[in-house]
């Protein structure tokens, strides 16, 4: 039985009871965007081979300007993709590509959160637009929340990656 089709077995950890016993999330930093897209494409192809339908896979990015990366990953996987706009609609047989804020309320069996790069997450233009320390704290809080929302769209498999230096949020997780 594949990971996408596996029945939950449950797992206990200190102070936690999980009903699911799935794979550990993958967190990766790559030298450049092309390497990231190739790696995500291979990861998606593996999910599809395991039995996930393409429409059970979502790829999320922070700003609209980064959607070329998920497109390249879907192409590398040999799959069909569809991009969400303000009308969020999952298309049968297609990997969903979306900005993080549009994914709230959705769930996919497998999610790749791409483009977690320095100056992309948190979005540099938001950081530079504030003049007050309290406002800066709010920007960081909302940007972290967007990453949290994106990551929690994954039911069974989660991939989080960036290129270059990577987001400071990833550095928090990876040490």
User: 47-56, 80-89, 97-106, 125-134: which has the minimum mean pLDDT?
Assistant: 125-134
Question: Is 27-168 a domain of CATH 3.40.50.10800?
Answer: no
- Cα gap 97→3, rounded to integer Å: 22
- Cα gap 175→163, rounded to integer Å: 16
Burial 51-62 (b: 16+ CB within 10 A, else e): ebebbbbbbbbb
pTM here?
0.83
The pLDDT of residue 6 is above 50 = no
List all residues 6 or more positions away from 42 whose beta carbon is below 8 Å from its beta carbon. Answer: 76, 77
List all residues 6 or more positions away from 143 whose beta carbon is below 8 Å from its beta carbon. Answer: 62, 121, 122, 123, 126, 169
Per-residue pLDDT tens over the stretch 71-103: 999 999 999 999 987 777 888 999 999 999 898
Q: How many CA atoms lie within 13 A of 80 on its CB side?
A: 8
Domain ranges of the chain: 27-168
State residue 71's pLDDT score: 97
The pLDDT of residue 30 is above 90 = yes
């Amino acid at each position: 039985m594949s990971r996408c089709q596996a029945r939950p077995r449950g797992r206990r950890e200190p102070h936690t009871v999980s009903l699911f016993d799935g794979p550990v999330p993958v967190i990766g930093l790559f030298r450049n965007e092309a390497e990231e897209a190739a790696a995500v494409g291979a990861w998606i192809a593996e999910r599809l081979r395991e039995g996930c339908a393409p429409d059970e896979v979502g790829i999320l990015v922070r700003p609209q300007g980064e959607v070329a990366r998920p497109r390249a990953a879907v192409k590398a996987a040999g799959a069909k993709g569809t991009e969400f706009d303000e009308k969020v609609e999952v298309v049968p047989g297609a990997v969903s590509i979306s900005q993080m804020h549009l994914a709230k309320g959705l769930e996919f069996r497998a999610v790749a959160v791409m483009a977690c790069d320095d100056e992309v997450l948190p979005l540099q233009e938001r950081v530079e637009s504030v003049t007050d320390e309290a406002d800066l704290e709010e920007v960081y809080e909302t940007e972290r929340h967007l990453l949290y929302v994106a990551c929690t769209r994954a039911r069974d498999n989660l991939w989080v990656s960036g290129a270059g230096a990577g987001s400071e949020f990833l550095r928090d997780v990876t040490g």
